[in-house]
Amino acid sequence: MFNHLSSRLPNLVVMLIANRSEPLDLELMASLKKKYSQSEIQCISGHLGESNLVSACENMELRSVPAAQRNESRCYICAFHCARRVLFSDNACTLRDRHLVINASHNEGAVEELAAALSHKLVTAGPFFPSEFVKTFDRIVKSSDIIKKESITKEYYKILLEKYKHQFVELLTIISLAPMTLPPGEQAKHNGVEIEGHTRDRVRSFAEFCEVLEKPVGATSDHIHPICRLTVFVFHVLTYFGIDYGGILTPENVQECLGAASVIDQIGFPIIIGSQSSQSKYNSHSCMAVKNVGPFNNLTWVLDCVKRRKALDWHGDVKS
C-alpha cells in the first residue's frame, strides 16, 4: 500500500486511520518523508494517558464509590494503568474496563472479573500470566502505600522490591510498579536531565524495549531467549527510574527467579504458562516458541497474521 501511495503522493491527499501504530508503520512514514520532503506528510497519534483515564472515571464510575474510598480508587486506577502498560504495552490499555478496575479497587470479589477481562484482552499472552498478574498486583497494592498515595518514594519501593523479589510473578509485578516512584505528570530524568514526553504512563514498555535492544548484527530480539530479555528489561526499568537495586538484585538471581517460569516465546511479551516442574531446568540456549504454520494458501489468514504481527514459520521449523 505504501509503495502504491508513494508514486501518487504529489497528486493525492491521503489519510490513513488505524487503531494502533506499529514500528513498521513509523519506519515507512519516515522513509516517505525523506523521499518526498516537499510533500506535507504528518503522523498524528493519540495515547490513552493516565490523566485521560482518571478524568473519564471522575465523570462516571468514581461517583458510585463511597467518598472515603475515592482517593484509594484513583491511586489504584493510576497504578494499574501504568503497570499493565509497562509489561504488555499500549495494547493492554483501554477505557472499556474502567468500571472493573474501580470495582476491584474496593471490592475483593471483583478482582477475578478484572483478571478475566485482562486475559481476554491479551489473548495472545495466554490465560495464566495476565490473570496472575492482576491478582498479584491487587495483593501488593492493597497491602502497601501505593493504594494511599499518588506516588511512592524510591526508598519505600526498594523495601517492596526486597519483599517481592523471590517469585517470578511477584518480581515482574513489582517491576511494573516502578513508574509509581515518579509523581504524575513529572518527566523522567536521565543523568539529571528530563526526558521530554517520558512521564510515568509513557515509559518504554517491554515490547518497545525489545525493539531497540542491542543485539548481534543481523539478529532480532527474538534470537535472544525470552528469560534473558525479561532479565535485561528488569534492570532497564530500575535504572530508568533511578532505583538503586544494589544488595537486592543481581543478574544471576533475577535470571534464576525468572527461569522458574515455563515460557513459550513469541513476538512481544512471551507466553508464561506456569512454573517449571521440579525436574526441569531453565536452558538459555533453547525454548519453545509460537509458530503459525499454514494454511499459507489462505491469503486472508496470512494477511491477518501479518496485521497482528504474529510469528509466521514459513518452513515449519522448530525454533531453538
- Is the alpha carbon torsion for 89, 95, 97, 101 positive or negative? positive
User: Percent of the chain having pLDDT more than 70?
Assistant: 76
> Could you give the CA distance from residue 83 to residue 176 in angstroms, rounded to a whole number?
4
Helix (H/G/I), strand (E/B), else coil: 272: strand
Which of the two residues, 247 and 315, has the higher pLDDT score? 247
Position 194 scores a pLDDT of 61
pLDDT tens figures, 227-275: 999 999 999 999 989 999 999 999 999 999 999 999 988 878 999 999 9
Q: What is the spatial distance between Cα 316 and Cα 216, in angstroms, rounded to a whole number?
A: 24
| CB-CB contact of 170 with 140 (8 Å) | yes
Taking the model in full, what pTM does it have? 0.79
Measure the CA–CA gap between 233 and 270, rounded to whole angstroms: 13
Q: How confident is the model at residue 22 (pLDDT cuts 50, 70, 90)?
A: low
pLDDT of residue 203: 82
Which residues, in sequence order, are bridge partners of residue 286? none
- Predicted pLDDT of residue 216: 58
- Which pLDDT score, from 0 to 100, does residue 230 have? 96
Please tell me the distance from the alpha carbon of residue 57 to that of residue 166, in angstroms, as a whole number: 35
- The runs of H, that is alpha helices, within 177-298 are 206-212, 226-240, 251-258
Distance spanning both ends of the chain, measured CA to CA: 34
- Give the other-Cβ count within 10 Å of 41's Cβ: 15
Using an 8 Å Cβ cutoff, are 16 and 44 in contact? no
Of the pLDDT bands very low, low, confident and very high (cuts 50, 70, 90), residue 319 is: very low
Q: pLDDT tens digits, residue range 123-175?
A: 888 889 999 999 999 999 999 999 998 899 999 999 999 999 999 999 999 99
Span 75-108, pLDDT tens digits: 999 899 999 999 998 888 888 888 999 999 988 8
Q: Are 241 and 154 in contact (CB under 8 A)?
A: yes
Q: What is the pLDDT of residues 203-229, one digit of tens each?
A: 889 988 988 876 655 555 567 889 999
**Distance in angstroms (rounded) separating the CA atoms of residues 131 and 114:** 8
Please tell me the predicted confidence (pLDDT) of residue 34.
81
Look at residues 177, 194, 185, 169 and name the one whose alpha carbon lies nearest to residue 261: 169
Rounded CA separation 309/306 (Å): 5
